[in-house]
Amino acid sequence: MRTQVAIVGAGPAGLLLGALLHRAGIDNVVLEQRSAEYVLGRIRAGVLEQVAVDLLREAGAAVRMDELGLPHGGFEMAFGDRRLRIDLQALTGKQVMVYGQTEVTRDLMAHRQASGRPTHYEAENVQPHGYDGERPHLSYRHGGSERRLEADFIVGCDGFHGVCRATLPAGALQTFEKVYPFGWLGLLADTPPVNDELIYGHTERGFMLASMRSHERSRYYLQCSLDDKVEQWSDEAFWAEFSRRLPADVAQRLATGPSLEKSIAPLRSFVAEPMRFGRLFLAGDAAHIVPPTGAKGLNLAASDVGLLARALAEYYRGTGPGRSAGIDHYSQQALARVWKAERFSWWFTSLMHRFPENGDFGLRMQQAEFDYLCHSTAAQTVLAENYVGLPLG
């Protein structure tokens, strides 16, 4: 089998890239190691920036999002017993869209099926080859037989644990990593959200986040210990702890119910440089991870593939040697945006979580930072500008 662009991974990065390339008339095949149901079963991000919204529209996969997504013009911060609303709309003129990653993935899957471009789910032992030369290809096992997919380019959209970054030769990449000393315990429930807007809270007992998927479905998070096991957290224990961390007046409105999903995610900052090696590109979580506090993971995946799709379209439209300029700049351009999102996610994580190991001095620094935010429109604008997302460039 032969294609122009071979994509590894059918998460949001792989599927959105496939849709954008299809739009530009570029042939592509997606290989995914899991089943479609498994991919849809993962509950992850919930907030889309304008850039991601625009790319989904450009790809032609935004009809349900435009119908069902919830535009939010602000969010709340609670710090001890103090509250601050960040008015995104007033500070930046922009909003974010609350629409779950599961739904984004579902929409992109349906779009792909309608486009007729192939996706091979349950592809085993996918391996990239020859990307340092002119004839890259992927080998894999599917439906009981060994297959080979030849391509002009390979794109690793295969997430943090994927194969593409892992097969690069030692020394090809420089990596940067910070692991945080806690995780997030998340719970999804069919209960009306406790607040109209998201609430990010710093409490004595740790961080909390009240988010949502719709007017009927809530998504809530608690800072938890890395030693915690999800089985130790009954629904009752979650609700009791969540209620304690909510501001008291908000807690009175909390509606509880059985969980649809509960999971623990570790928090990490990670970047691999560069994001291109010969005819192999990395995009999304395959190249970088942010802690979820800034809601940037899915948005960075979208902006990476937005840049890459543009560069590949330029390459296939062009003729002379200049046609490679976009793909030659992809890594540098994507990384400039990635590092700013890394900085913001690290900063917001550092402000909103409890770090007992930082002692009383660390806590006073967090309190002073929050106090400064409360009294400075400039500081709020910095937060808002980063939260709604920087321009694609």
Beta strands (DSSP E) in 197-317 are 199-203, 206-212, 218-224, 259-273, 276-277, 280-282, 288-289
Which of 263, 184, 187 is closest to 222 using CA atoms? 184
Both tokens assigned to 151: 């391509």
> Which part of the chain contacts ligand FAD (CB under 6 A), choosing from 5-13, 60-68, 222-230, 332-340?
5-13
Among residues 29, 55, 77, 301, the one that binds ligand FAD under rule CB under 6 A: 301
To the nearest 10 degrees (0 to 180), the angle between helices 325-352 and 297-317 is 170
Nearer to ligand PHB, 140 or 238 (CB): 238
Count, residues in the chain: 393
Among residues 5, 13, 55, 104, the one that binds ligand FAD under rule CB under 6 A: 13
Nearer to ligand PHB, 103 or 314 (CB): 103
Provide the residue type at 7 as one letter: I
Among residues 30, 45, 52, 109, the one that binds ligand PHB under rule CB under 6 A: 45
Site string for ligand FAD, 92-131 (x = CB under 6 A): ---------x---------------------x--x-----
The listed partner (ligand PHB, ligand FAD, none) that binds 11, CB under 5 to 8 Å by sort, is ligand FAD
Among residues 157, 168, 208, 212, the one that binds ligand FAD under rule CB under 6 A: 157
User: Does 337 sit near ligand PHB (CB under 6 A)?
Assistant: no
The listed partner (ligand FAD, ligand PHB, none) that binds 12, CB under 5 to 8 Å by sort, is ligand FAD
Residues marked as catalytic: 72, 200, 292, 296, 387
Beta strands (DSSP E) in the chain are 5-8, 28-31, 47-48, 70-72, 75-79, 82-86, 96-98, 119-120, 124-129, 137-142, 145-150, 153-156, 174-189, 199-203, 206-212, 218-224, 259-273, 276-277, 280-282, 288-289
Q: Which of residues 192-211 bind ligand PHB (CB under 6 A)?
A: 198, 209, 211
Among residues 292, 306, 326, 389, the one that binds ligand PHB under rule CB under 6 A: 292
SS3 171: coil
Q: Name the residues that contact ligand FAD, by CB under 6 A.
A: 8-14, 31-34, 39, 44-46, 101, 123, 126, 157-159, 162-163, 265, 284-285, 292, 295-298, 301
